[in-house]
Amino acid sequence: MKQSSNNSTLDKVNQSLARRYRAEKRFKAYGIAAILFGITCLIVLFTDIIGKGHSAFFQTYVYLEVTMDSEQLYINDPSDPQQIAAADYQGVIKAALRERFPEASSRRDRRALYALVSNGAGFKLRGQLEADPTLLNQTIGLWMLVDDDVDTYYKSRGEDGESGFDGRLNEKQIGWVESFIADGYMESRFNTTFFTSGDSREPEQAGILGAMAGSLFTLLVTILLSFPIGVAAAVYLEEYAPRNRFTEFIEININNLAAVPSIIFGLLGLSIFIGFFEMHRSIPLVGGLVLTLMTLPTIIISSRAAMKAVPPSIRDAAYGLGASKMQVVIHHVIPLAMPGMLTGAIIGIAQALGETAPLLMIGMVAFVVDIPGGVTDPATALPVQIFLWSDSPERAFVERTSAAIMVLLAVLISMNTLAVWLRKRLERRW
C-alpha cells in the first residue's frame, strides 16, 4: 500500500515534469518577448529620429566674393560703430550675386536669386567688419549660410545631381545652385549655428542654445529649491514627526501628489505665481517654481526611503556615544542616505527637464530669440522647443526637430549616468 502510494506520487511528478518544464520555458519566453518588444520599439524610435535628424548637424554654405563697397554699405565714417552696425550688408551680398549671375535681370529673377542666400548672412559680414574695419572697400571671399530651401535641395540631391527635392525652388534657382556646386562653391559643414544661437523662424539660423539656457536656468531654480526643501521635509517626517493621524494624512497626500498630472501644477503656478504674485509670464523663475512643486513629492519619497535604509545600529551607536538627535541625523543618517537622496533628486530633475505641460500654462511655450541671461529673462525649454519646431511649416524644421530630440536625449542620458555614478561612488556597504 505504502509502496504503491509512493510510486504513484513519483509517477505523478514524473508525468507532470514535462508539463512543468514547458510552463517554465513559456514563462521565460514571455519575459524575453517583452524585452524584445521593448528593444524593437526603441530601435525603431532611434532609427527614425537619427535617420531624420542627423542631417541637421550639417549645414550648406556657399562661397561668395563680396566687395565691401563703402558706398553701397552707406558707411562714410568707418570709426563710427553705429554706422557699421546699421550698414546694408544684405545689399552687398545681393550685388555679389548679381555679379556672378548677370543674366538675372528681371525683378522677379533677381528676387529669386537673392532668395538663395540666407537673410542672416549679412550679420556674418557685419561681424567680420566689426572685427576688422580695414576690410572696408576690399573684396573678401566668404562662406555664407544658404537659404533653407537650398539647404534641403543640396542635402537631398545625389552625387550625380539627380533626384533632389526641389520643393519651392524654380528651375532657374536650381540652375544657379547647380552652377555653384559645379564650381565647388557649395559645401556642407558642421552646423555650429545649431548649437550657438537661439530660435529663429529661418531654419538655417535656428539654434538650440536659447532653449538649453532656458532649461538650465529653470532647472537651477528647481534644484536649489526642491532639494533642500525636500530633504528637510523628509528628515522631519522620518526622524522627528510623531506617528499620529495627522502625519499619516500628510504622508498619504505626499504620495498622492507624486501621481498628480503635471498640468495641474502648471495651473497652480499660473494662479499663484503669475496671478497672485504678479510675476511675468514665460520666465524660468516661475517655471522653476512650478517644477519644484512637481518634483518635491518624488524627492521627499526617495529621501525618506533612503533614510529608512540606514541601519538602526548606526543610530544606536551614535546615541550610545551621547550624540544628540540632531547630531545623529546630520553626522550619520544624512551622509549615509545621501546617495539615495541624490539619485531620487536627479531622477526628479530629469523628469522636470522633459516636462512641457506645466510650462504651457505659465507661458514658456513661446518664440524667444534672445538667449536668456538670467532667471527673469523670457525663455523656453528644450522639450518646448521640440514641440514648437515640430509644428512649423518649413520643411527644414523636420530635421531640426529630430536633432533637438537627440540633444534632449543626450542630456537625459548623461543625467541618468551621473545618478548611477554618484550612487556607485557614494554608496557605503555595511
Partner 1 sequence: MKKSIVMTALTLMSGLISSEAMASRDYINIVGSSTVYPFSTVVAERYGRSTQFKTPKVESTGSGGGLKLFCQGVGVQFPDIANASRRIKQSEVDLCASNGVDEIVEVLVGYDGIVIGNSVKAAPMKLTRKDIFLALAKDVPNPDGSKTTIENPYTTWKDVNPALPALKIEVLGPPPTSGTRDAFAELGLEGGCKKIDWIADLNNQSKAAAKAGDTAKSKSLKDQYKAICHTVREDGAYIETGENDNLIVQKLNANPDALGIFGFSFLDQNIDVIQGSLIDGYEPTFESIADGSYPVSRPLYFYVKKAHVGVVPGIPEYLSEFTSERAFGEEGYLAEKGMIPLDAGSRRQTAADVGNLKLLQL
Q: In the complex, which residues of this chain contact partner 1 (CB under 8 A)?
A: 111, 115, 119, 123, 165-168, 200-202, 221, 224-225, 228, 274, 278-282, 285, 363, 365-370, 374-376, 378, 388, 390-395, 398
Tell me the backbone φ, ψ of residue 168, rounded to 5 degrees. -95, 5
Task: Give me the least distance between CB of 13 and partner 1, in Å please.
Answer: 56
Task: Give me the least distance between CB of 238 and partner 1, in Å please.
Answer: 20
Q: By C-beta, is 153 or 265 nearer to partner 1?
A: 153
Task: Give me the least distance between CB of 202 and partner 1, in Å please.
Answer: 8
Amino acid at 108: R
Rounded CA gap, 58 and 55, in Å? 6
Rounded CA gap, 310 and 348, in Å? 22
Rounded CA gap, 318 and 226, in Å? 29
Q: By C-beta, is 213 or 285 nearer to partner 1?
A: 285
Decide if 196 contacts 62 (C-beta within 8 A): no
User: Taking phi first (over 0 means left), then psi (-120 to 50 degrees means alpha), and beta for anything else, what does residue 57 get?
Assistant: alpha
Rounded CA gap, 415 and 396, in Å? 29
Task: Give me the least distance between CB of 123 and partner 1, in Å please.
Answer: 7
Residue 368, all three cell numbers: 524667444
Q: By C-beta, is 207 or 254 nearer to partner 1?
A: 207
- Number of Cβ within 10 Å of residue 222's Cβ equals 27
DSSP string, 233-256: HHHIIIII---SHHHHHHHHHHHH
Q: By C-beta, is 202 or 251 nearer to partner 1?
A: 202
Q: By C-beta, is 288 or 348 nearer to partner 1?
A: 288
Decide if 149 contacts 202 (C-beta within 8 A): no
Task: Give me the least distance between CB of 187 and partner 1, in Å please.
Answer: 25
Cα dist. 399→48, 192, 403 in Å? 11, 15, 6
Task: Give me the least distance between CB of 416 and partner 1, in Å please.
Answer: 24
Closest CA to 330 of 407, 412, 240: 240
Q: Is 321 helix (H, G, I), strand (E, B) or coil?
A: coil
Contacts of 293 (CB under 8 A, 6+ apart): 265, 268, 269
Task: Give me the least distance between CB of 287 and partner 1, in Å please.
Answer: 13
Q: By C-beta, is 254 or 388 nearer to partner 1?
A: 388
Q: By C-beta, is 293 or 368 nearer to partner 1?
A: 368
Q: By C-beta, is 190 or 367 nearer to partner 1?
A: 367
Task: Give me the least distance between CB of 184 and partner 1, in Å please.
Answer: 28
